[in-house]
Amino acid sequence: MRVRNVFTWNAMIGGLAMHGHGEIAISLFDQMKHDEVMPDEVTFIALLYACSHTGLVNEGLKMFQAMQESYQIEPRMEHYGCMVDLLCRARLVDDALEFIENMPIKANSVLWATLLGACRIGGNFELAEIVGKRVIELEPDSCGRYVMLSNLYAGISQWESALNMRKQMENKGIEKIPGCSWIEMNGTIHQFVAGDRSHLQREKIYAMMREMTQRVNLDGGHVSGIADVLLDIQEEEKEHSLYLHSEKLAVAFGLISTSPGSLIRIVKNLRVCNDCHSFLKIISKIYSREIVARDRSRFHHFREGSCSCMDFW
């Protein structure tokens, strides 16, 4: 481009961030400064996002400081949200809590929900319960907040408390958003939900699912993430439930519908779960395929047994 303004730089930095190229995004920012283009508040949202999704904690802290001291940009809620997300993804829960408590503006439900997720993953259930109740107070009609707290209780086998959260949702008429995955094939969009048997090629899809599961088990690099199935059922049933997740079905359809070695692209409306993330990494290696999965917040590029997010998602 003959003319590159702040909008084109922001688009590039933001795009790189969503695809997990944090270090390249930062190097592009250095080039932007060299070209004497003044960054704005959107530039720093993109940079902090890039750092949080690549595990670049120190770089993110420096960016947040430079934004205020070098460019006199007052942080907005989005900037604070990126910083909390950065600390939480790095499992620095205590630092994230201290950051929220010291913010000059009142944290919204999104920031507290981010902290809740980090508490659950890190096993800090006492703090998670306190944070979870605060999140529901701030956003009493959000299905995701009730589900997060219900999942927290289920994760420590407090089934009565988990069921109580689900009942509160029912009493308020709040419905859980179902997980869906889509794949485009020859101009047609194919949609899958968990346990979907509505597709015309369901027999071939499930045959491929059985083959995929057998080959992944033989590989030995994947451990079924049964903690993601937060129901009071036996472990064998939990593994079967994971087997039916929508993104796995979409990839199975992609494998039977495309030529060997070709790229598979899928889209999901929710965050990809830990089990499916691990599963797709192994599938990319076994079948020598690149799989691009766009979940609700970013792109995952699965190649040769690894993911572009480096497990920071």
Tens of pLDDT, residue by residue over 153-205, are: 877 778 888 888 888 888 888 877 788 999 999 999 999 998 888 999 999 99
Residues 245 and 124 in one domain: no
**In-domain check, residue 313:** no
Residues 166 and 186 in one domain: no
Residue with tokens 């829960």: 93
Residue 70: CB partners within 8 Å, gap ≥ 6? Answer: none
Task: Tell me which residue range forms the domain holding 245.
Answer: 180-307
- pLDDT mean across residues, the chain: 87
* 229: pLDDT strictly greater than 60: no
Rounded Cα distance between 230 and 236, Å, is 13
* 138: pLDDT strictly greater than 50: yes
**In-domain check, residue 188:** yes
* 136: pLDDT strictly greater than 70: yes
Instruction: Give the model's pLDDT for residue 241.
Output: 55
Which one-letter amino acid corresponds to residue 240?
H
Residues 223 and 278 in one domain: yes
Q: What is the number of other CB atoms lying within 10 angstroms of the CB of residue 22?
A: 24
pLDDT tens per residue, range 268-277? 998 888 889 9
179 DSSP 8-state letter:
P
Its pTM stands at: 0.77
* 235: pLDDT strictly greater than 50: no
Mean pLDDT of 297-313: 86
Phi-psi region for residue 91, left (φ > 0), alpha (ψ -120 to 50) or beta? Answer: left
Residues 101 and 79 in one domain: yes
Is residue 303 within 8 Å of 48, Cβ to Cβ?
A: no
Residues 118 and 69 in one domain: yes
* 88: pLDDT strictly greater than 50: yes
Residues 132 and 188 in one domain: no
Residues 153 and 186 in one domain: no
The rounded percent of the chain whose pLDDT value lies above 70 is 93
Instruction: Give the model's pLDDT for residue 233.
Output: 39
Which one-letter amino acid corresponds to residue 301?
H
Which one-letter amino acid corresponds to residue 192?
F
Residues 123 and 266 in one domain: no
Q: Is the dihedral of CA 20, 23, 29, 32 positive or negative?
A: negative
Residues 245 and 297 in one domain: yes
Residues 151 and 56 in one domain: yes
State how many domains the chain has: 2
Rounded Cα distance between 249 and 205, Å, is 7
Rounded Cα distance between 266 and 272, Å, is 11
